[in-house]
């Protein structure tokens, strides 16, 4: 056969070829779907890589970069699995139900793993921020508690999806879980209440580790740990007190470490004798207050006139503590300064005095008994 004859035969074969039948071929559709999935996956991966590069150029922080990097693998896997499912449906090489269940399980496992790692990255960033002194949720064991809860919820959700994909009856598991939850709830009400309160304390963050708090105006100390069941507070006497988390949710708590300045104002009251003026007392007491230890030099002190009393004129020196946990030391320093300044200026502190006046028959009898008359008198 000459070359011309071969070309003629090839042209006849091409004319006889039905393009519609070729496009409807399952093998060609499966191959085209896989190629398209690979192209889409590559495009998404490239877009995420570009976003990572732009984030690094703007220096937005490591957390966003880590989360974007974690998303590349599950997104790529999801696109490829969708293409494989479509190709399997076209080729019908295996049972479609089992094939879909296997592919769905792969997707669930990949996404569950990614979400767990993302939760680890977020909690690690929170711990680093708390260690650096930034404002944020409480660290310590509460971070481990939230980490455990997040992992548990993600893993249980993944297990539920896998059971649904394989067609397992989950109603019995749901009923069993409900009964077990009711039994545990009645058997451990206090423990569950403390656990839920710990989660609320972590999310609402009314207090953090290192804060100085006052509980019900009876207990005062620094928070050292927020645990599963209780919160530990170290008092100024060096005694560690365990407070149940469930009670902390109902008690009145004053956080002295919160606020714009994170400083506590002290009012040191004293009373001087009558005849003094407020301007005179301010000129005597206020100089030198900013140089005192235990006090904030950047926040101004005030001397307020609170009004007259039965003993004298009552004043109050208002100062700010540098460390809320050293309240007694701050009071000692401020009161010592007041006493020293008043003595140097010759101003006496007023004291309460009482005059007793006796009268009537009882007074006459007492006077006669205490002051005897002349010896010759009967």
Are 63 and 121 contacting, i.e. CB atoms less than 8 angstroms apart?
Answer: yes
User: Encoding tokens for residue 154?
Assistant: 């993600």
pLDDT given at position 61:
53
pLDDT given at position 286:
94
Output b/e per residue, 35-48; b: 16+ Cβ within 10 A. eebeebbeebbeeb
Strand order in the sheet with 313-320: 265-272, 313-320, 302-308
pLDDT at residue 125 greater than cutoff 60: yes
For the stretch 300-335, pLDDT in tens is 899 999 999 888 999 999 999 988 888 889 999 999
Mean pLDDT value across the chain: 76
pLDDT given at position 284:
94
pLDDT given at position 295:
92
> Residue 161 and residue 315: Cα distance in Å, rounded?
70
Q: Could you give the count of Cα atoms lying within 13 Å of 72 in the half-sphere of its Cβ?
A: 15
pLDDT given at position 230:
86
| Torsion angle of C-alpha atoms 262, 268, 269, 272, degrees rounded to 10 | -140
Region 334-358: mean pLDDT is 84
Higher pLDDT: 162 or 361? It is: 162
> Residue 129 and residue 260: Cα distance in Å, rounded?
19
pLDDT given at position 378:
42
User: Encoding tokens for residue 164?
Assistant: 């649904």
pLDDT given at position 177:
74
For the stretch 232-257, pLDDT in tens is 999 888 899 999 888 887 888 888 88
Higher pLDDT: 373 or 179? It is: 179
Residue 94 backbone zone (phi > 0: left; psi -120 to 50: alpha; other: beta)? beta
Residue 319, phi then psi, degrees to nearest 5? -130, 165
Local structure of 5: helix, strand or coil: helix
The percent of residues above 90 in pLDDT, for the chain, comes to 18
Higher pLDDT: 163 or 29? It is: 163
pLDDT at residue 66 greater than cutoff 80: no
> Residue 278 and residue 102: Cα distance in Å, rounded?
85
């Amino acid at each position: 056969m000459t070359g011309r004859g071969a070309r003629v035969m090839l042209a006849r074969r091409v004319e006889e070829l039905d393009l519609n039948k070729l496009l409807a071929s399952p093998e060609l559709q499966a191959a085209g779907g896989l190629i398209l999935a690979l192209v889409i996956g590559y495009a998404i991966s490239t877009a995420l890589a570009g976003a990572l590069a732009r984030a690094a150029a703007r220096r937005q922080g490591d957390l966003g970069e880590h989360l974007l990097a974690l998303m590349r693998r599950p997104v790529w896997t999801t696109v490829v699995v969708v293409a494989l499912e479509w190709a399997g449906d076209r080729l019908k090489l295996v049972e479609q139900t089992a094939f879909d269940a296997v592919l769905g399980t792969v997707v669930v496992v990949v996404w569950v793993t990614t979400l767990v790692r993302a939760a680890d990255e977020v909690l690690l960033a929170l711990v680093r921020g708390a260690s650096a002194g930034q404002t944020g949720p409480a660290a310590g064991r509460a971070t481990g508690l939230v980490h455990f809860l997040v992992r548990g919820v993600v893993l249980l959700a993944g297990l539920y999806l896998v059971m649904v994909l394989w067609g397992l009856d989950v109603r019995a598991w749901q009923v069993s879980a409900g009964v077990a939850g009711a039994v545990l709830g009645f058997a451990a009400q206090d423990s569950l209440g403390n656990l839920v309160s710990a989660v609320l304390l972590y999310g609402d963050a009314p207090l953090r580790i290192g804060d100085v708090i006052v509980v019900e105006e009876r207990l005062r100390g620094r928070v050292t740990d927020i645990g599963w069941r209780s919160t530990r507070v170290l008092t100024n006497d060096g005694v560690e007190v365990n407070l149940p988390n469930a009670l902390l949710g109902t008690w009145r708590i004053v956080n002295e470490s919160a606020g714009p300045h994170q400083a506590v104002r002290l009012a040191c009251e004293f009373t001087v004798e009558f005849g003094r003026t407020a301007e005179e007392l301010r000129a005597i007491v206020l100089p030198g207050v900013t140089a005192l230890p235990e006090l904030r030099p950047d926040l101004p002190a005030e001397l307020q006139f609170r009004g007259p009393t039965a003993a004298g004129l009552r004043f109050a020196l208002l100062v700010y503590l540098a460390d809320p946990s050293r309240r007694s030391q701050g009071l000692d320093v401020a009161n010592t300064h007041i006493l020293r300044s008043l003595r140097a200026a010759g101003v006496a502190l007023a004291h309460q005095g009482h005059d007793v006046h006796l009268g009537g028959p009882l007074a006459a009898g007492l006077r006669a008994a205490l002051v005897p008359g002349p010896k010759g008198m009967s």
